[in-house]
Chain A
Amino acid sequence: MTAKLNKIKYVCPLCKTDLIEKETSFLCKACDKLWPIEYGIPKFAESELQYSVFSSDITDKVTELAERTTWQNAVDTYAATIGAYTYSYINDESRADFHVLLPLGQEATVLDIGSGWGNIAISLSSWCKHIYCGDVSMTNLRLLRSRMRDRDLHNVSIFQYEPNSFLRLPFPDASVDIVLLNGVLEWMGAAVINVSPARIQLEALKEIRRVLKPEGVIYIGIENRYSESTLRGQRIHGELPFVGLLPRIITNFITKIVRGQEHRTYIYTMSGYRKLLGRAGYKKIDFYIPYPSYHYPNYMIPLEPSWVKRFWVEQLSVSRSKKYQFFKSLGFSRLPFHWLAYSFGIRCVK
């Protein structure tokens, strides 16, 4: 009962009017719209995006098995189909370790947008009052619900949001302390609407700013456009190699010819993110290099003051490779190598 009183009352994602909770749906009196509750999960969406680490013929089986038995049993049963790296990726709770940089606490309400496998939400649930997990895939949310049930977590709420529109959150203004956007902002641009990805991303950041309390914090984990990996031709988000390095107009042109569709998963450089966040109204913006990547933030290297990253290269790196020794002897640690970092962790204040 107490937990329920502490929860935020959902609002209509379209008109922001308070919703009335019914047995199997939420009713918006202003729009006269019913938002259904499916599998116990509020569905604030009219379309769905399916994505999974499991192949499409297995996903439903995993989900059903998790609901019948346990999440771990289901994942272990089908572990061979995803390989050791992915298995660890969906299990590893240390992926949330960046949270030490966030103003969590027993009074904090957190919103994890694109909560995926839930590792981050599980880890954070013991550090905050309540955490809301939103995702675009009902199948993933069902799996997540099983995982939370198995862990007996009562301060986690799950909801589905609409992938093919501007981000519309079912939360009142200034209701959340922290928003997480870990590996999600880039995908938001892929929404199937006739607007540029940059605009969709900007509107998403504005919408997040709306639900943040004053001095609330957003944390973004995302790739760097001109990283050592993209410069070597690594395919990021399934896009064509090297193409993302070119001006957007050329990138779009080539991608359209080769793949028949536009390049949508926009990522930026540090200054690009700074501009985007500034335009969305955020003020204090701190950059970190999550090493080896924002997926596994073993180190969260602050970019300010700049000598910390030099300390990291010279003192904490365990590399014994000749390449490392060579670059170190050239004074590489004194260069602004963060320009080429694989990804960034960005913390901004409303």
Chain B
Amino acid sequence: MSMEQTVCNLVKQHWNDLHPNSKPPDSFVFFKIASKTSPNAAIIAMLFDARNRRPVAVAKIPRNPQFTTGIEREYEAMTDIRNAINDPRILAHIPYRGVLTDNDGIKILLQAAGVGHPMVREMTSQKSVEALYEQILPWMYAFHSHEAEKCVLEDDILNNFVKAPIENFMAQFGHVSSDILSSDARQYFSELPQKVKGQVVRLCRQHGDFNAHNTLVEYDSGRLYNFTLIDWEDYTTRQLPVHDLNHFFTSNSHLLGGYMKPEESYLSILLNDGWYRNLYIKAIEEYETRGLIDKNTFFTLTPLYMIKMCFCVSDSQRNQQNTIKTWIKRMNLYINRYLLDAK
């Protein structure tokens, strides 16, 4: 039996986990869609209700059946979201229903399908980006504020969320030449724990890869009326509130930069003054208003987001080591701008 048939049978069998209180379709259409290319990532298939022509499920099949960390992480995220979040306004944009099946020892993740097309396609002008962000950012604020845990950056919290990532980063990447990791950046990281010690932040849930490729949007008569955030395998339940917001603005700046190199678009679109930076600062101010983190602490902690990205892209799930340099270049640029502003 092909994986195509196996997955169709599994969806039928677990229909109630995906779409409770509805009847499964008589037949499905299986469509293998794009996914990450690393040897340990998942192959993704979309299943349609053959009669209604609508996507009803997504199946994530391990490319390497011995390596299922990614889909297990995503299933844990779905379970946590299902159990911990009961606000329907937050849940409405997350495909949290699903099941991790074990088919003759091969784990396959089934999820209710998110509907819409990638937001990337709509990011064609300042106006369209502003309209998208206007709807998506308030959801992000609500998601991050939900049960966020107030704490002071000291002792274990400072160690776990600030000192340890820096130490790990320096142990793994500190050997690179100063052409790659600037001396300013090294100095910055050596002083960072002391600089933020005693600051109050709220630890919160983070999607981990919140960007335009992972956001599906639905339009009606040219107006955005729904969006869904997919790909939750980098989800964390307790994290500094600097990751998602920075990632959303940083990785999307590359899309707005046309043919620019990622670090060039980061500098010219996000770090240099302009409409996109204004949008970014407004979003940080909203975090401050909601008591997640104050603006200065957000800016000070932002390089920790780049540190996390260096680890993310080098993990076996992604296997994108070739982009580490880009993240370090962005880190240097960010720290330059930060130090200039501080003067």
Question: Contact residues of A with B, CB < 8 Å?
Answer: 92-94, 97-106, 123, 126-127, 297-302, 305, 307-308, 311-312, 314-320
Given contacts A103-B2, A126-B64, contact A298 B117 (CB under 8 A): no
A297 to B124, CA, bound (A): 27
Q: How many residues of B contact A (CB 8 A)?
A: 39
For A96, the closest partner residue in chain B by CB is: B63
Given contacts A314-B117, A319-B121, contact A105 B63 (CB under 8 A): no
How near does chain A come to B229, taking the closest CB pair, in angstroms? 16
Q: CB of B43 within 8 A of chain A?
A: yes
**A102, B117: Cβ atoms closer than 8 Å:** no
Given contacts A94-B37, A320-B120, A320-B121, contact A100 B31 (CB under 8 A): no
User: Which of B45-53, B240-248, B270-278, B283-291 makes up part of the contact surface?
Assistant: B45-53
A315 to B122, CA, bound (A): 12
Question: Contact residues of B with A, CB < 8 Å?
Answer: 1-5, 7, 29-39, 41, 43, 45, 48, 50, 53, 55, 61, 63-66, 104, 116-118, 120-124, 213
How near does chain A come to B212, taking the closest CB pair, in angstroms? 9
Q: Which residues of A contact B7 (CB under 8 A)?
A: 100
Q: Which residues of B contact A307 (CB under 8 A)?
A: 53
**B3, A300: Cβ atoms closer than 8 Å:** no
**A298, B53: Cβ atoms closer than 8 Å:** no
How near does chain B come to A216, taking the closest CB pair, in angstroms? 13
**A316, B1: Cβ atoms closer than 8 Å:** no
**B2, A101: Cβ atoms closer than 8 Å:** yes
**B34, A103: Cβ atoms closer than 8 Å:** no
How near does chain B come to A261, taking the closest CB pair, in angstroms? 37
Q: Which residues of B contact A100 (CB under 8 A)?
A: 2-4, 7, 30, 32, 43, 45, 61
A-B pairs, top 4 by smallest CB distance, nearest first, are A100-B3, A298-B34, A94-B37, A300-B32
Q: Which residues of A contact B31 (CB under 8 A)?
A: 299-302, 308, 311-312
Q: Which residues of B contact A127 (CB under 8 A)?
A: 65
How near does chain B come to A348, taking the closest CB pair, in angstroms? 13
**A101, B3: Cβ atoms closer than 8 Å:** yes
A92 to B40, CA, bound (A): 11
A302 to B28, CA, bound (A): 12
Q: Which residues of B contact A315 (CB under 8 A)?
A: 116-117
A299 to B64, CA, bound (A): 18
